[in-house]
Amino acid sequence: MTHLVWRLHRTQAYFATGALVALVLLLLVTGITMADDYHRFLATCAATQSCGDTGQVFSGDGFILDVVNLTMAVPLLFGLFWGAPLVAKEFEDGTQNLAWTQGVTRRHWLATNVTWVLLGAALWGAALAAVVSWWRTPENALDSRFDAFDVQGIVPVAYSVFAVALGIGIGSLFRRVLPAIATTLGIFVALRVSIAIYLRPHFMTELTKTVPLIASNVTAPAGSWIVSNSIVGPRGQLVGRGFTPDSIPAVCRTALPMDGKGGLLQCVASHGFHMLISYQPASRFWAFQGIEAAIFLVLAAALVGLAFWRVLAADA
CA 88 – CA 181 distance, rounded (Å): 9
Lowest mean pLDDT among 38-42, 108-112, 138-142: 38-42
Q: What is the H or E stretch that residue 226 is in?
A: strand 225-232
Summarize the confidence of residues 7-25 as an average pLDDT: 75
Q: What residues contact residue 55 under an 8 Å CB cut-off, 6+ apart? A: none
CA dihedral 180, 105, 11, 118 (to 10 degrees): 60
Cα 132 to Cα 67, 156, 196, 262, distances in angstroms:
10, 10, 19, 48
Enumerate the domain spans of the chain. 2-50+64-204+287-312, 207-280
pLDDT per residue over 160-199, tens digit each? Answer: 999 999 999 999 999 999 999 999 999 999 999 999 999 9
pLDDT at 111: 87
| Predicted TM-score of the model (pTM) | 0.83
CA 274 – CA 210 distance, rounded (Å): 7
For 250-268, give one letter per residue: b (16+ CB within 10 A) or e: eebeebeeeeeeeebbbbb
CA 76 – CA 67 distance, rounded (Å): 16
